[in-house]
Amino acid sequence: MTRARVVRRSGGRKVSRRIPGSPSAASATDAAFERFLTASAARADRVLTRRLADRPDTCRLGEAMRYAVFGGGKRLRPALVYLGCQAFGGDLRAADGAAAAVELVHTYSLVHDDLPCMDDDDLRRGRPTLHVKYDEATAVLAGDALHTEAFATLAALARPEHVGECVRILAEAAGLQGMVGGQVRDLDAEGAKPKAALVEQIHLGKTAALIAGSLELGAVAAGASAAGRRLLRRYGLVVGLAFQVADDVLDVVGDVATLGKTPGKDAASGKMTYPAAVGLEQARAKARALSSQAARLAGRLGGPAEGLLRALPRFVTERTK
C-alpha cells in the first residue's frame, strides 16, 4: 500500500508522508493499529503473567483464574490503557498496572456473566466457560478473586501518586454507575420491547464505561490535563458504544467458528440489542455513525497517537469477531 505514501527528499532526510483521508492512509493506520494491538497485548500478557502465573500457589482456584485470564482474549482494554497513555506522550511502564487491572475486571465480569443464573453460556472464545470446565462455585470464587486482584495490581504497580485516582476511575467504570449497572439494567429489561434509548443506556454501562475508563486510566498514567482526560473519556464512550453495537450485529450475522461463542443467543433470548431495537441495517448505520463521530473526536485530541485513535473506531466496528 505504498501508493498512499509520498516519499520525498527534504533537507537530505527521507520523509514519509501519508495523504490524510485517503483509503490507503486508513489502511496504513489500520496496519499500525494492528501492530500496536499486538504489542500492547504482549505487554499486558507479561504483566498479567507476572501477577498470576509466576506465583508458587498451585491451588485449583489459581488454575481457574489463569484459565480465565489466559484464554485468548484480544486484550483490547489493556491496549486502550496504553493508547490513552501514548495519546498524552506518557511512559507505558506507568500504565502497566492499569492495563492488567482493566483486563482482570473484564475477565471477572465475563466469568460471572457466563454463569447459569446469568447468561448461561457454555462457550467463550472457543473453549468451555469456567463453570463448565470447573464448577459453578469455582467460577463464582475465581471471578471474585480476579476482581480483588484487579485492585491489588493497580495498588502494586501504579505510581503511588496515581493509585487513588486510578482506583476511583476503575471502580466507577466497573461498579453500579458503570459495568454492573449496565448488566443489571439489561436483566431488568428482559422481556420488555427493545428501544434504542434503553439499549444505548445499557450498552453505555455494560461496555462503554470500562472502555472509556481504560483510556482515562492511561491518560492519568501519562499525567494528562483534566481537559484532555475529559475529551478522551468522551471519545471512549463513543468508541465503546460503537464496539457494542458492532457486537450486537455480529451476534446476528457472525458464525460460531469465527466468534468463538454461540451466535444468535442474544436475539433468541430477547436481549436488548440494537438490531432488535432498530433492525440490522439501522444498527450497522449506527455503528458507522459512531465510528465517524469517534474519528472526529480523535482529530480534536490530536497528539502523538492521533493515527491510532482514528484507527480504533474502524477496528471495533469492522471486526468479524
Residues that bind a copy of itself (CB under 8 A): 57, 59-62, 65, 108-109, 112, 115, 117-118, 135-138, 140-141, 143-145, 147-149, 151-152, 154-156, 158, 160, 163-165, 167-168, 170-172, 174-177, 180-181, 183-185, 187-188
Cα gap 263→251, rounded to integer Å: 5
Output the smallest distance, CB 155 to a copy of itself, in A: 4
Output the smallest distance, CB 180 to a copy of itself, in A: 5
Choice between 219 and 287, CB closer to a copy of itself: 219
Choice between 136 and 318, CB closer to a copy of itself: 136
Cα gap 315→38, rounded to integer Å: 13
- Taking phi over 0 as left and psi of -120 to 50 as alpha, with beta for the rest, 229 belongs to alpha
Q: Which three cell numbers stand for residue 297?
A: 473526536
Output the smallest distance, CB 52 to a copy of itself, in A: 9
Output the smallest distance, CB 239 to a copy of itself, in A: 22
CB 277 within 8 A of CB 195: yes
Choice between 167 and 252, CB closer to a copy of itself: 167
Cα gap 49→69, rounded to integer Å: 9
Output the smallest distance, CB 133 to a copy of itself, in A: 15
Choice between 77 and 310, CB closer to a copy of itself: 77
CB 49 within 8 A of CB 124: no
Choice between 51 and 310, CB closer to a copy of itself: 51
CA 110 to chain centre: 12
Tell me the CA end-to-end span of the chain in Å, nearest whole number. 25
